[in-house]
Amino acid sequence: MRCLKVEAGLAENTLTAYRHDLTSLAGFCADQRIDIKTINIRHIQAFMVSLREQANLAESSIARRLVAVKLFLRYLHQNGQVNEDVSMLVEAPKKWQHLPRVLSRQDVDKLLGLPNETDDPLALRDRAILELFYATGLRVSELVGLVLGSVHLDIGYLRCMGKGRRERVVPIGSRAVEALREYLTILRPQLIDGASSDRLFVSRTGKPLDRTNCWRLVVKYARQMGVAGRLSPHTLRHCFATHLLAGGADLRVVQELLGHADISTTQIYTHVDNSRLKAIHRQFHPRQ
């Protein structure tokens, strides 16, 4: 883990996920009485089977765990702890590409308007968070990591630190700017109450808002829309990308805004939504 943090510069959230994945491998090896120094491709294949059949993980989750396993195996070989580098022999299972859940523009408008309909004292903060998610497509870890100095409302831009510690600049729309100004002017000073904190979004007690509470915030409003359990901060990121592309935005620009290292990750958003698909079918199929 120390090597990945120092040499690869991986984010803390990624390191936490990799640590969990390798703990899973260590548990499997202990159960099967496999010495890690003698691990081979058959052991890794058996580990994959256990993830699918016992842990009931999807192919995408197994593939993600194998990334950590391959890095670990390569590390063992490079440091002379195993004789053979079996990481090159490990192949991830083929992943079925699930299309992300995307709300219509009307549903997004409804969601973003919900904080205005409540008397919750944190409504101004919640509105600013929801508006910013949709306006920028930030990941939840990127949003809660924002500091006051990274947001420039006068010119409508923010700077955020993404995966791999890559910094990017993202524009902020006028509605999000308005919501942020209101939060920063009226509510945030009350929450901070004289304490010194440079974090943009804070909790009821003035402490930095964390990922879990930000997630709960979005789910709370999702319940009010009747979509509990199916809507998360990442849903708004999906909506951001899909609606941009539907409006004619260039795929490369959307890739840059999302902070994707590989454009193939962005291409999933080029899917056609169901309503448009049905309209095209109705218009052009000879039996309609």
Q: Give me the catalytic one of 5, 110, 260, 271.
A: 260
Q: Give me the catalytic one of 65, 70, 127, 237.
A: 237
Q: Give me the catalytic one of 139, 188, 238, 243.
A: 139
Catalytic residue status for 234: yes
Residues 6+ apart with CB under 8 A from 166: 259, 261
Contact 187, 125 (CB under 8 A): yes
**Side-chain-facing half-sphere of 273: CA atoms under 13 Å:** 15
Phi, psi of 92 (to 5 degrees): -75, 150
Contact 239, 134 (CB under 8 A): yes
Q: Give me the catalytic one of 134, 183, 221, 269.
A: 269
The strand order across the sheet containing 167-171 reads 151-152, 157-161, 167-171
Q: What is the DSSP string of 115-164?
A: GGG---TTHHHHHHHHHHHHHH---HHHHHT-BGGGEETTTTEEEEE-GG
Distance in angstroms (rounded) separating the CA atoms of residues 224 and 221: 5
| Cα 124 versus chain centre, distance | 24
Tokens found for residue 91? 């192949």
Q: Give me the catalytic one of 77, 163, 168, 207.
A: 163
Catalytic residue status for 110: no
CA-only gyration radius of the chain, Å: 22
Catalytic residue status for 282: no
Catalytic residue status for 163: yes
Report the catalytic residues: 139, 163, 234, 237, 260, 269
